[in-house]
Amino acid sequence: MVAAVLMVLAVLAVPSISAARDGYELVTSGANVAAKVAEARTNALKRNRFTWVLVTPASRTLQVQTAGAATPLDIGFLQRLPPRVVIDLPAATTPLTFDTLGRPVNAAGILTAHVIQLRHTGNAQTRTVTVTTTGRVTIN
């Protein structure tokens, strides 16, 4: 009888544990993306160079790079998101660029806000990392 009760409790607990794990993956992925963006902004200020986060949705990776003498220089390590967390925005490989003053700019050098949206394939929840024109990073 005790074994049967424990089995019923285990069957009821598995979906809750799975949902909690999915939520944890999405929350930590959002925090990791925000940390990469903040790292790029800090390096732009520190190095007094244009610096960017190269976002690659196909491979679910982020890499901080800065302008080098001939080719871009990689800074830090390549951030890979968990397999069930995908990058919805931007839809194509694109850099989130910061100017020498740590302000987010577009390809033409005009101040602009940046948005990265993450989605968990297990529960379809989303997390949005936004960089305002002042450089402030928020996670929603």
List pLDDT tens digits, range 44-71: 999 999 999 999 999 999 999 998 878 8
pLDDT at 102: 92
Indicate whether this model's pTM tops 0.75. yes
* pLDDT < 70 regions, the chain: none
CATH of domain 2-139: 3.55.40.10
Instruction: Give the residue from 55, 24, 28, 22 showing the smallest Cα distance to 131.
Output: 55
- Residue 9 phi, psi dihedral angles, 5° rounding: -65, -40
DSSP-derived letter for residue 122 is T
pLDDT of amino acid 6: 87
- DSSP reduced 3-state for 22: helix
